[in-house]
């Protein structure tokens, strides 16, 4: 029989393990793109390099041209449960990152969650998402015409990808079986 004190210790340990599992920045392993590059050294990947230095001369900040609805996006390369997004603004011209929206998109690029923000974050915007948001892409897009600069975008959530539904596995297995049967009949 397990004593009540041991159950509390085990419970705290399990909560700590769960917190550690959710502490990884999923964006670090992603692929970033943006609507345009102001200069080649202000590329989209600068916002997922793990460096929150907000100074444009650090070469760790993104910068687009003055585009209509300029955007930046990270492909997480799998579907994850996402619970937090942190967007670090650059240190100068912070007003450029205002009147914008942040979206989570699924693997088909359909929006599953989106929120609009009017004021520029200084230095960062910490967005806590409602429960059960899953997505493969996180996108930051201006609603008007301006330059878009980001120092860093961090995406936190469950570090294990969301598994495919069983129906997808069954369908895939069926296709493999049909292809194999067709090849067998040709022999």
Residue 61 and residue 54 in contact, taking contact as beta carbons nearer than 8 Å: yes
C-alpha 64/C-alpha 147 separation (Å) is 5
Q: Which residues contact 91 (CB under 8 A, 6 or more apart)?
A: 54, 55, 56, 123, 151
- Report pLDDT digits (tens) over 97-118: 999 999 999 999 999 999 999 9
Q: Contact, 96 vs 148, CB < 8 A?
A: yes
What is the pLDDT at residue 160?
A: 86
Query: 1-10, 127-136, 154-163: lowest mean pLDDT where?
Result: 1-10
pLDDT at 3: 58
pLDDT tens, position by position, 41-53: 999 999 999 999 9
* pLDDT, mean over the chain: 84
Rounded CA gap, 116 and 124, in Å?
15
Taking only the tens place, the pLDDT of each residue in 132-145 is: 899 999 999 999 99
What value does the mean pLDDT take over residues 151-163?
92
**Omega prior to 123 cis, within 30 of 0:** yes
The DSSP code sequence of 141-173 is EESSEE----SEEEEEE-SSPPPPPHHHHHHHH
12-35 pLDDT, tens per residue?
A: 333 333 334 445 999 999 999 999
Residues of the chain with pLDDT > 90, as a percent, come to 68
- The yes-or-no verdict on residue 180 having pLDDT over 80 is no
**Domains of the chain by start residue, with CATH:** 25-179 (2.60.120.260)
Judge whether residue 82 has pLDDT over 90: yes
Q: Is the pLDDT of residue 171 over 90?
A: no
Q: 126: burial class by Cβ within 10 Å (0-12, 13-18, 19+)? A: exposed
């Amino acid at each position: 029989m397990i004593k009540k004190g041991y159950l509390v210790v085990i419970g705290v340990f399990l909560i700590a393990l769960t917190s550690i599992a959710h502490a990884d920045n999923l964006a670090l392993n992603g692929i970033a793109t943006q609507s345009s590059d102001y200069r080649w050294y202000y590329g989209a990947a600068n916002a997922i390099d793990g460096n929150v230095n907000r100074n444009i001369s650090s070469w760790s900040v993104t910068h687009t041209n003055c585009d209509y609805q300029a955007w930046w996006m990270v492909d997480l390369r799998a579907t994850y449960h996402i619970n937090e997004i942190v967007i670090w603004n650059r240190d100068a011209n912070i007003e450029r990152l205002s009147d914008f929206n942040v979206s989570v998109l699924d693997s088909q690029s359909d929006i599953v969650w989106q929120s609009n923000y009017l004021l520029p974050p200084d230095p960062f915007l910490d967005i806590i998402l409602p429960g059960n948001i899953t997505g493969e892409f996180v996108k930051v897009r201006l609603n008007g015409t301006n330059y878009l600069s980001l120092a860093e975008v961090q995406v936190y959530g469950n570090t294990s990808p969301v598994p495919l539904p069983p129906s997808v596995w069954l369908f895939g297995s069926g296709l493999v079986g049909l292809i194999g049967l067709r090849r067998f009949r040709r022999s």
